[in-house]
Structure 1
């Protein structure tokens, strides 16, 4: 309350800058949303209803967007959902706590592809293992009625598809995403790919512009004079070269210049001066291209379904 106007403006700038992901790789960030499978979210099979995966996904995805790109939302950007694909692998039982881990998969000139993984942690102690079932253990005793399992199968149905090329691309994507183990050994239950775009009013903001405006940047290249020396990564204390341009667009807490930049000001920047392309170059661009080859299969499959 007793601070001067200049001190207050400086405090606002520092707060906004503390939210930015300066010098980070967008593919390294994971937003975790924790919740539980309550009775109202579960079906008669006593596990999380398939419809509720999308219900909680809205909250988890928006939570991730706010943490990854806060400047855009402060400037008035909103996020539109174009498509979502779910791959159910294993049911989440009723009353279980689970995590929704959201990260960036890739992007193109319009769409940002968001990867979400639903996981749970085992209650079993480390080193314990369930005993192996004996032969015939799953066979119902003679004289008792046979009740089929109602759990969701983890395998894809065998119905022939008229979109075979797209199914193949989707299978490759799911295999590459779901087969890797979680870093903490958590159990994977569902993989989701969301196709979103950023809008300011009715104007589309390219994902690269939105991402780089929050400070994301590839690691600095090693000096040609000494290739063995590892350069210091970019951060608030060691900002990337274009950081001053970002700061100028939201100086003193005024985000109007950033709004104008999102609304089309980025088009006026000459091709050889587009700092956001440099910021997301190198290893980030390589990863983006690699992942885009995978997620584009999902997009083609969803688009192809319109003509079935």
Structure 2
């Protein structure tokens, strides 16, 4: 019996060894395949966090605009090689179409759509707080290409000074969302460089290379962005309960409540998640460009009954109280007589942004923004809300460092 067992074992062992080794090889191969695809999945899930991706997402709207302009200009130059007048007319038509002619500053809105990726989420599987400023950067760049295309074409940049966020509810991972951004307010004031106050002294040293004698132009531009999602249609009661913004506590700022009121969505099935207010400025090199100059040179204008200080287009014959607004077909006087000529000449536009606007006595950009008219009251109210949001943080900067124990 023992001999038979040994014989059987010796006869089965090669087959058994082969089977074991084959199973081991298959297992190793399966582990390699799983590891490889798992690695691919991790890389793809975090692709937005890869090097240079942030720069690409920020600058892509500007690159896209320049490529579109180049795609128009090269064929147009070839087709009108012997007819300079026709070439100029075509370029003027293209400038009209790509400019926000007649857009009211408080009615403008740009929408940035995206989805919460894995690398933008935290361990709670929600969009992390650190991701909101990054997304707001992409939105501001897209907004600039739609609202200030000629400023970017002239070499302007949009640095951000500070941002205020108010988080209402979280955005789940992999959820689609929108950032709806518009103009909150703008501020233009002159600051004396020879004042003895410490604040003015700081400004003097910071802007000592800027042009201007005795004073410097300090401007701020406020961008309001709302992070929203769309929910699937539900019953009426469910819609009411899920789409309402949670009530604010007494300790929370009334200013944020006003932002909610001014940012309420008329569209159904919209959920508000976060309100962001960014304070930024617009610079060409070291020069700060006034917001009113910036908007007016790109075709932005208030409603006809809000226009002040200069004449309207002589061809306009409709009643101002019934006329809804300007457009490319019926542009404002400030576009046809001033801004359009600058947009067609990049060199003059660049000089205008660098300070030539100071020598223009007509101040037609103030007319386009309704300075001194009915829109100025609304601007002051919105500016007061935006300013107070940042005054607390500006005050915290005055705190001294704690003593080292």
Report the TM range for the smaller structure's normalisation.
0.7 to 0.9
- 1:86 equivalent to 2:86? Answer no
Structure 1 pair 189/121, CA: closer, same or farther in 2 (3 Å)? same
1:173 counterpart (227, 241, 255): 255
Tell me how far apart the structure 2 counterparts of residues 288 and 187 of structure 1 sit (CA, whole Å): 27
Task: Quote the residue 1:259 is aligned against.
Answer: 350
* CA distance in structure 2 between the partners assigned to 1:181 and 1:211 by the alignment: 25
Q: Is the counterpart of residue 280 in structure 1 residue 359 in structure 2? A: no
Partner of 2:54: none
Kept after mapping to 1: 8 A contact 2:143/2:181? yes
Residue of structure 2 equivalent to 1:75:
154
Displacement of 1:82 in angstroms is: 0.5
1:48 to partner: Cα distance: 0.3
Q: CA deviation at 1:238?
A: 1.7
Whether 1:183 aligns to 2:262 is no
Instruction: Please state how far the C-alpha of 1:294 moved relative to its aligned partner.
Output: 0.5
Gaps of 5+ in 2: 1-74, 189-218, 307-311, 400-405
Measured after TM superposition, the shift of residue 18 of structure 1 is 1.1
Deviations 1:63-112 (A, max 9, x none): 11111111111111111111111111100011110001100000001000
Residue 29 of structure 1: aligned partner: 108
Partner of 2:185: 106
- The answer for the alignment partner of 2:338 in structure 1 is 245
The structure-2 alpha-carbon separation of the partners of 1:229 and 1:197, relative to structure 1 and needing over 3 Å to count, comes to: closer
Structure 2: how far apart are the matches of 1:126 and 1:256? 59
1: CA distance between counterparts of 2:318 and 2:285? Answer: 48
Quote the offset at 1:285 in angstroms: 2.3
Equivalent-residue separation in structure 1 for 2:93 and 2:318 (angstroms): 35
Deviation at 1:8, TM superposition (A): 3.1
1:115 aligns with 2:224: yes
**1:213 alignment partner in structure 2:** 297
Q: 1:190 to 1:226 in 2, by over 3 A?
A: closer
| Matches of 2:396 and 2:225, distance apart in 1 | 22
CA distance in 2, matches of 1:67, 1:107: 18
Native 8 Å contact 1:115 1:191 kept in 2: yes
Quick one: which of 62, 66, 70 aligns to 2:141? 62
- Structure 1: 5+ residue stretches without partners: 133-152, 159-166
- Match status 1:294 vs 2:385: yes
Q: 1:226 to 1:43 in 2, by over 3 A?
A: closer
Contact 2:159–2:281 at 8 Å: present in 1 too?
A: yes
Q: CA offset at residue 129 of structure 1?
A: 2.3
| TM-score of the pair, normalised by structure 2 | 0.62
Task: Summarize deviations over 1:278-300 as a string: whole Å, max 9, x none.
Answer: 11113432321110011010221
Query: Relative CO higher for 1 or 2, CA cutoff 8 Å, sep ≥ 6?
Result: 1
Distance change in 2, residues 1:157/1:232 (3 Å):
closer
Partner of 1:144: none
Shift of 1:227: 6.9
Distance 2:170 2:222 in 1: 24
Per the alignment, in what secondary structure is the counterpart of residue 193 of structure 1?
strand
1:186-236 Cα shifts (integer Å, max 9, x gaps): 10000001001010010000111101111111222399x997962363222
Q: Structure 2 vs 1, CA of residues 181 and 234 (structure 1 numbering), >3 Å: closer, same or farther?
A: closer
Quote the offset at 1:155 in angstroms. Answer: 6.3
Please give the alpha-carbon distance, in whole angstroms, between the structure 1 residues aligned to 2:154 and 2:227.
31
RMSD, aligned α-carbons: 2.7
Counterpart CA distance in 2 for 1:276 and 1:49 is 41
